[in-house]
Amino acid sequence: ETGVTQTPRHLVMGMTNKKSLKCEQHLGHNAMYWYKQSAKKPLELMFVYNFKEQTENNSVPSRFSPECPNSSHLFLHLHTLQPEDSALYLCASSPGLAGVHEQFFGPGTRLTVL
């Protein structure tokens, strides 16, 4: 598959569960991003990785833990989430930080926390 893929597409979890979101890009890009999109707020940048190194943590609570094992894969590990964390989580990639303006987005994971 080409582009940016995300799995799962939908996830329902309890507050005590531990789950992970996966993102994979097949574009040869070096920068990857996690965004949170909730109904009442603008698209919020959560984390940025460039060449597998985290370059941005936008004051995200520690219950969200990112992992970037290589430039093609990005994970978001979730534990002890709150109902207000329910949102659409988008992954994106760009050629590098210099091309940050042209991000390619995945379809998103719709997360519901019960």
Partner 1 sequence: AQRVTQPEKLLSVFKGAPVELKCNYSYSGSPELFWYVQYSRQRLQLLLRHISRESIKGFTADLNKGETSFHLKKPFAQEEDSAMYYCALLIQGAQKLVFGQGTRLTINP
**Which stretches of the chain bind partner 1, using CB under 8 A?**
3-4, 41-43, 45, 48, 55-56, 90, 92, 97-98, 100-107
Smallest distance from partner 1 to CB 80, Å: 27
Smallest distance from partner 1 to CB 10, Å: 15
Helix (H, G, I), strand (E, B) or coil at 7: strand
Nearer to partner 1, 14 or 51 (CB): 51
Nearer to partner 1, 5 or 80 (CB): 5
CA proximity to 34, closest of 18, 51, 22? 22
User: Hey, what amino acid is at 96?
Assistant: G
Nearer to partner 1, 3 or 61 (CB): 3
Smallest distance from partner 1 to CB 97, Å: 4
CA proximity to 48, closest of 27, 63, 33? 33
- Cα four-point dihedral sign 109, 36, 31, 27: positive
